[in-house]
Amino acid sequence: MALDIHYAKERHTGRLIFTIILIALLAATGWYGYKWYTTGEIPFSFPIASANTAVSESAVTPAQISKYSALASNPRYIRIPSLDVGNTRVFPVNLDASNQVETTPNINDTAWYKKSATPGSGGVMIISGHSIGTNHDGAFSRLKTLQAGAQIVIERGDGKVLTYKVVENQSMSIAEVNATGMKKMGQPVEDGAEGLNLITTDGKWVPRLGTFDRRILVRATIID
């Protein structure tokens, strides 16, 4: 009888230890899951969503690029030679519900905010693009490395080519972008000169926000 009691006590202790460990694991999982959802931070590598999974990452073929057309005065292609960005399609878009420039359905394309200026008009043009996706880099994946003095080329729908040089490249939090960044993006970097301002995402993917927590803002001025 005493032997049976001894085994019962061991089984009870084992179940208690297992329950404590299980509760601790569930609590840790819940905490880190919440932290990832609200801030994008996670202390270990794990195959979870790290970008907008609704964005297509399929390649854009040379034929699709060459066949793409735009209105005569609108931007058709953007090129950034120092980043090895060749002819990249530019689609007209509006602002989204968060007052940010919309992005394109394909990670390899860029978006021109159609209420900003057209190239050659003397105003300020705003173009946004994807940085990274879940498996592939986007058109503006290396935008944060773009140096002052680098050239950006815009080709219009009528074939006219305009060249701009980078003056400023900044990284901002979403809060900073909303407070001052977007206002700056609507202004020329040099008074009285036509401007081209580029924007892309940076930082960590935050599921709660459905976007990344930082932005890269590039401001350029026309030289040709």
Separation between Cα atoms, residue 55 and residue 211, nearest integer Å = 12
Q: What pLDDT was estimated at residue 46?
A: 42
Is the CB of residue 79 less than 8 Å from the CB of residue 220?
Answer: no
Q: What pLDDT was estimated at residue 159?
A: 97
Is the CB of residue 100 less than 8 Å from the CB of residue 88?
Answer: no
Structure-token pair, residue 62: 């040379």
Q: What pLDDT was estimated at residue 135?
A: 87
| Mean pLDDT computed over 78-99 | 92
Separation between Cα atoms, residue 195 and residue 192, nearest integer Å = 9
Q: In sequence order, which ranges of the chain are alpha helices (DSSP H)?
A: 2-39, 62-67, 174-176, 182-185
Integer CA distances (angstroms), 139 to 61, 84, 128, 129, in order: 14, 10, 10, 6
Least confident of 52-56, 58-62, 143-147, 174-178: 52-56
Please state whether the predicted TM-score (pTM) of the whole model is above 0.85. no
Is the CB of residue 213 less than 8 Å from the CB of residue 177?
Answer: no
| Mean pLDDT computed over 215-220 | 96
Annotate 112-136 with DSSP letters as a single string: EETTSPPTTSSSEEEEEE--B-SSS
Q: What pLDDT was estimated at residue 36?
A: 47
Task: State yes or no: pLDDT of 47 exceeds 50.
Answer: no
Highest mean pLDDT among 31-45, 71-85, 126-140: 71-85
Is the CB of residue 123 less than 8 Å from the CB of residue 110?
Answer: no
Tens of pLDDT, residues 115-163:
999 999 999 999 999 998 888 899 999 999 999 999 999 999 999 999 9
Separation between Cα atoms, residue 53 and residue 38, nearest integer Å = 18
